[in-house]
């Protein structure tokens, strides 16, 4: 491999990292805000421990608050620390990065309304099913 290609790849990687720093900082600040602003007992009220209800609740919250997958690792860890069930976290994170209620108008405009609605609906229900399956798999071990 040529040195110029390696330098180009390293430069592209560095530029990509620099572009992602504001996103990561914003997410960390928002997490810090929510951790302090939301009472800890609220999580136990929202997430009951019921796999079906927790996955639906997590899926709905993730669909509304769309984000990118890189930030989901930080969010998932924080939710786990707050005692949120695994099924709710998986549903939230999957819908967070695959379902976009906020972006639906733009997606409808660019790709067509029917396609956008079908894609988001399938993504939502797939996330719920995957979250329940992950929870079942973890309970077997």
Looking at residue 109, its pLDDT comes to 83
Q: How far apart are CA 93 and CA 72, in angstroms?
A: 6
pLDDT for residue 54: 92
For residue 92, give the nearest of 59, 50, 47, 133 by alpha carbon: 59
User: In whole angstroms, what is the distance from residue 114 CA to residue 22 CA?
Assistant: 34
pLDDT at 1: 58
Percent helix, strand, coil in the chain, to 5, is 85, 0, 15
- pLDDT of the residue at 35: 64
pLDDT tens across the length of the chain (141 residues): 588 888 898 898 898 888 878 877 876 777 677 667 767 677 767 888 888 999 999 999 888 877 777 777 888 888 888 888 999 999 999 998 899 787 888 888 888 999 999 999 999 999 999 999 999 999 887
Residue-level pLDDT at 22: 82
Q: What is the pLDDT of residue 119?
A: 95
CA-to-CA distance for 18 and 62, rounded, in angstroms? 26
pLDDT at residue number 80? 87
**SS3 category, 99:** coil
**What would the two tokens of residue 19 be?**
């572009």
Contact 135, 59 (CB under 8 A): no
Domain residue limits, the chain: 1-37, 40-140
């Amino acid at each position: 491999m040529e040195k110029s290609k390696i330098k180009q790849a390293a430069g592209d990687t560095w530029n990509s990292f620099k572009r992602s720093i504001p996103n990561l900082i914003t997410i960390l600040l928002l997490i810090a805000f929510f951790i302090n602003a939301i009472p800890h007992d609220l999580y136990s009220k929202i997430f009951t421990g019921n796999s079906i209800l927790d996955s639906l609740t997590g899926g709905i919250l993730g669909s509304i608050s769309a984000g990118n997958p890189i930030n989901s690792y930080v969010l998932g860890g924080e939710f786990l620390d707050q005692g949120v069930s695994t099924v709710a976290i998986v549903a939230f994170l999957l819908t967070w990065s695959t379902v976009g209620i906020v972006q639906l108008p733009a997606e409808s405009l660019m790709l067509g309304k029917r396609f956008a609605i079908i894609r988001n609906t399938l993504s939502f229900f797939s996330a719920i099913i995957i979250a329940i399956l992950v929870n079942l798999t973890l309970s077997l071990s």
